[in-house]
Structure 1
Amino acid sequence: MPRSLFKQVDVFSDQPFKGNPVAVILDGDDLSVDQMAAIARWTNLSETTFVLKPNDPRADYRVRIFSTVLELPFAGHPTLGTCHAWLEAGGKPRGGEIIQECGVGLVRVRRDANRLAFVAPPLQRSGPVATDQAEAVRRALRIEAHEMLGAQWIDNGAGWLALRLSSPDVVLRIKPDFAQLGSTPVGVFAAWPARASHDDVEFEVRAFIAGDAMPEDPVTGSLVAGIAQWLRGDHLAPDTYLVNQGRLLGRAGKIHVNVHDEDIWVGGNTLTLVDGVLDASVAAP
């Protein structure tokens, strides 16, 4: 079995080791699903991706995305990290944008100054969360009833249930009971008050995935994309804003959200920190 190019890319930070890493295996066409899953368990990162030849003639490449426990039809930081690795390895897009094929279909990606950004894919599930489930999540997160301003499904392939909270202080105070949280990925967010030092609107976000190798995700593009669709639908945010995530994990995640021609673009910096070769023959079960 041939060896594959391997890159580990830090996503959503311009500082090394301060974003969310994703392992990217290029030339993944010869790997079986079992081998992909084994490699993802071994990297022990929130996601590992495999680049393959596209099935759709409109796509530049196809990607399969694995967490340590399952395959995902879409994820945000793996989308940007994979695109970064593909371009760095010599990939040439057919047009002005890069077109990624994945489990949710085609995802547009663009280069924007020193950042990459993807268009938020359509939500597969949206709308209010049932009261009993929202209450169960609230109790598992150990927050007070008056601190929860809303609960919505914002599932774009990653399964997210999101809570809008009363303040960033509440977001940063949470210490989840993961045993009670269940298997549904949960995100929480709140807006920072306007600051006189600058004009940027900012939100604080955290993401919890009970049972995964990393039960709190450092910086989460799919969650932020879903939150952006909620905020836009309810007119709760401007067309351009910044999301902070990961500070309690020692990260400095920065996700840039921008609405242009009705598309919601979610972007950030990408840095290759590991560049080498994977001997995939050892991954056979």
Structure 2
Amino acid sequence: MTAMTTERWVNFWLVDAFASEPFQGNPAGVVLEAEGLEAETMRLVAREVGASETAFLLPAGEEAADFTLRWFTSTCEVPFCGHATLATAHILAETGRYRPPTELTFSTRRGLLRIRLCPSGEAPCIPMVQTPAAHFEPCPIPPGELAAALLTSPEQLHPDLPLLKDDTHLFVPFRRLEALLNLGPDFRLLSRLGLEYELTGFACFTTETLEPTSHWHLRFFAPAAGINEDPVTGAAQGPMAVYLLEQGVLSGQAGQTGSWVGEQGDALQRPGRVQVEVSLDEAGHVRQVYIGGPAVTVLQGRLRVG
């Protein structure tokens, strides 16, 4: 006799994060009922969905959390993904599982992350996602080598702001917005440079902006991770505000929370705007960082996984 097999299907959503209209911002996949899926299956689902990252929601593995959240690209699991976390919160609200105002806690590979579902007049909610703490340190990468990989001149880099890395992301300051928007890196060379200096992403930015209500413009290149350019990068936008605060470009008050807006995605015709909230303790040190913005569901379907 032939053994009976049971088909399993999962619901998935494709969400444009940090966008108020379809086809803007950064698309992310979301699977809300991932319990029982093996890591390799999650990777295959992420590959099939086709977004840069897909988030998988599972039952909480610890008492302090409401859920466990994992993120996969088509090739591997990643420790944190801002836009896919925002997309997950958006779907939890849009499907009526939670209504704003609500606070949730996700258990992740980077520790416990808190999510706020904030009321909004138009969208189901505005999710605000806590990001892991940023810790900047100097990077020995020669500016000339970096400029060559970015196919720009060293003179385009900002002379008064340093090259600093947070974990495996290098923050690269530019003098002018025009030079940043005109970048067309040599991705093979940039990937090789990243491997040499243990970097997976290059966050190139300037404090010149397209809109007067914004505070910086950013482009994020991660060719070693299979993403030549990411449309909107939550994992870089939160640390970006911390970098600018620590360098004295932005000013915050001890014991208070400041709010700023980062631009990204315009060079890819997928504009996104990220609200970044940074809370300082009484000594003026960064206590916590949240990123947020609207999101739009653009696709819903069912995927066979077994």
TM-score range, shorter chain: 0.7 to 0.9
Q: CA RMSD in A?
A: 2.3
Between the aligned partners of 2:67 and 2:96, the Cα distance in structure 1 is 12
Mapped contact 2:241–2:260 kept (Cα < 8 A): no
Q: Does residue 165 of structure 1 match 2:174?
A: yes
Point out which structure has higher relative CO (alpha carbons under 8 A, 6+ apart): 1
| Partner residue in 2 for 1:14 | 20
Distance 1:194 1:22, change over 3 A: closer
Q: Does residue 176 of structure 1 match 2:185?
A: yes
Between the aligned partners of 1:280 and 1:28, the Cα distance in structure 2 is 11
- Structure 1 residues 12-51: aligned runs within 5 Å: 12-51=18-57
| Partner residue in 1 for 2:265 | 246
Between the aligned partners of 1:146 and 1:165, the Cα distance in structure 2 is 9
Q: What is the CA distance between 1:172 and its match in structure 2?
A: 0.5
Distance 1:70 1:137, change over 3 A: farther
Between the aligned partners of 1:140 and 1:264, the Cα distance in structure 2 is 31
Mapped contact 2:133–2:289 kept (Cα < 8 A): no
Q: Does residue 259 of structure 1 match 2:265?
A: no
Q: Which amino acid in 2 is paired with 1:127?
A: E
Mapped contact 1:46–1:212 kept (Cα < 8 A): no
Q: Which amino acid in 2 is paired with 1:128?
A: P
| Partner residue in 2 for 1:69 | 75
Q: Does residue 130 of structure 1 match 2:140?
A: yes
Between the aligned partners of 1:61 and 1:193, the Cα distance in structure 2 is 37
State the TM-score, normalizing by the size of structure 2. 0.82
Q: What is the CA distance between 1:212 and its match in structure 2?
A: 4.4
Larger radius of gyration: 2
Partner-residue secondary structure (3-state), 2:155: helix
Among candidates 119, 122, 140, match of residue 130 of structure 2: 119
Q: Higher mean Cα deviation, 139-148 or 10-19?
A: 139-148
Between the aligned partners of 2:15 and 2:58, the Cα distance in structure 1 is 18
State the TM-score, normalizing by the size of structure 1. 0.88
Per-residue Cα deviation, 1:2-39 (whole angstroms, up to 9, x for no partner): 32121111100111111111011121112111111112
Q: Which amino acid in 1 is paired with 2:136?
A: S
Between the aligned partners of 1:222 and 1:113, the Cα distance in structure 2 is 23
Partner-residue secondary structure (3-state), 1:230: helix
Among candidates 178, 188, 195, match of residue 204 of structure 2: 188
Distance 1:90 1:230, change over 3 A: same
**Structure 2, unaligned stretches of length 5 or more?**
1-6, 121-125, 195-199, 252-257, 281-286
| Partner residue in 2 for 1:152 | 164
Q: Does residue 98 of structure 1 match 2:123?
A: no
